[in-house]
């Protein structure tokens, strides 16, 4: 991917950059795979704001994604084009199968127009875009769109530039190393996709001005310590004061260092090593 950095011709252009999307080859989305996407402005079904600083933004339509990769088993599919998707950081690839049916998948690095991919039931060529069960993939390969429950669809490693590495297999369990440094086991019957997700420069784009965030549907954010105490737990006081309590959200949920993972989840039993805090460094893949 390529990043274009603008000259400092104005305050909005200073320190801003844009993604050129050099991987994108198809401009218009497939109409049969589009759904309407309603905005809620951060409100729940009661109309109460549960997510702060959300609203507005450009109108979007959802692209129906094939995360399960089980509907066209062993049927070769040809890449029609790589498209931009406003709903995710990664680019998507439009696949047309031999029977004429079309599906969207996440586009890995190296997948180009005209290439063939397959959703294999057993072994297939280990090239980017091919989907197989974990028990048939050679160890040491980069994988993405990983299932946690067989047949439920890919749940982890779906953002731009992310990938996990398959390191070992023992019996019915395969060991993977995630980008966060977490080491966990998944069933060998879980379906994964080979390769690293493209658009790796997504993280290097600098917004530069507030207007570009408004296009994304992100409204101005006011710090909690700048509010009154009746509006936020950290607000109020004489001068700049945090109130002597740990950082928290408007509803009092700890926002730094607090555990948010629910207890007793079945997926927690297969974590061999928790993710490493950035303060102490991360485990290299």
- pLDDT of 178 > 60? The answer is yes
The most distant pair of C-alpha atoms in the chain lies apart, rounded to whole Å, by 70
Contact call for residues 26 and 92 (beta carbons, < 8 A): no
pLDDT score for 249: 87
> Tell me: the pLDDT tens digits for 22-39?
999 999 999 999 999 999
**Region of 201 on the Ramachandran plot (φ > 0 left; ψ -120 to 50 alpha; else beta):** alpha
CB atoms within 10 A of CB 104: 20
pLDDT score for 274: 86
> Tell me: the pLDDT tens digits for 110-127?
999 999 999 999 889 999
β 3-5/17-19 pair status: antiparallel
Give kind and range of the element (H or E) at residue 215.
helix 210-215
Q: Which residue ranges make up each domain of the chain? A: 3-202+261-280
10 Å CB burial of residue 112 (0-12, 13-18, 19+) is: middle
Catalogue the E-assigned strands of the chain. Answer: 3-5, 17-19, 34-36, 61-63, 77-83, 92-97, 102-106, 116-117, 131-133, 142-144, 146-147, 154-156, 164-170, 173-177, 183-187, 191-194, 271-273
Residue 240 banded pLDDT, cuts 50, 70, 90: confident
pLDDT score for 208: 92
> Tell me: the pLDDT tens digits for 63-88?
999 999 998 999 999 999 999 999 99
* 65 vs 33: CA distance, rounded Å: 8
Mean pLDDT across 91-108: 96
* 278 vs 32: CA distance, rounded Å: 43
Q: pTM for the whole thing?
A: 0.88
Share of the chain above pLDDT 90, in %: 75
What value does the mean pLDDT of the chain take? 91
Sign, Cα dihedral of 24, 26, 32, 36: positive
CATH architecture of 3-202+261-280: Beta Barrel (2.40)
């Amino acid at each position: 991917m390529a990043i274009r950095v603008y000259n400092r011709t104005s305050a909005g252009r200073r320190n801003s950059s844009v993604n050129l999307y050099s991987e994108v080859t198809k401009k218009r989305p497939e109409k049969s795979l589009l759904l309407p996407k309603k905005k809620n402005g951060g409100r729940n079904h009661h109309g109460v704001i549960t997510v702060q600083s959300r609203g507005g933004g450009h109108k979007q339509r959802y692209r129906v994604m094939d995360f399960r990769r089980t509907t066209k088993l062993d049927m070769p599919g040809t890449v029609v084009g790589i498209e931009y998707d406003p709903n995710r950081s990664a680019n998507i690839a439009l696949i047309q199968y031999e029977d004429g049916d079309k599906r969207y998948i996440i586009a890995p690095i190296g997948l180009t127009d005209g290439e063939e991919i397959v959703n294999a039931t057993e072994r297939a060529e280990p090239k980017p875009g091919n989907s197989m069960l974990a028990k048939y993939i050679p160890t040491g390969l980069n994988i993405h769109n990983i299932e946690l429950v067989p047949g439920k669809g890919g749940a982890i490693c779906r953002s731009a530039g992310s990938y996990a590495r398959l390191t070992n297999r023992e019996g019915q369990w395969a060991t993977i190393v995630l980008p966060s440094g977490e080491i966990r086991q998944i069933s060998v019957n879980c379906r994964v996709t080979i390769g690293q997700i493209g658009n790796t420069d997504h993280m290097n784009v600098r917004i530069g001005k507030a207007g570009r965030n408004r296009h994304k549907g992100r409204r101005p954010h006011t710090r909690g310590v700048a509010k009154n105490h009746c509006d936020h737990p950290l607000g109020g006081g004489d001068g700049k004061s945090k109130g002597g309590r740990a950082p928290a959200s408007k509803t009092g949920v700890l926002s730094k260092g607090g555990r948010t993972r629910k207890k007793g989840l079945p997926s927690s039993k297969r974590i061999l090593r928790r993710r490493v805090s950035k303060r102490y460094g991360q485990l290299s893949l």
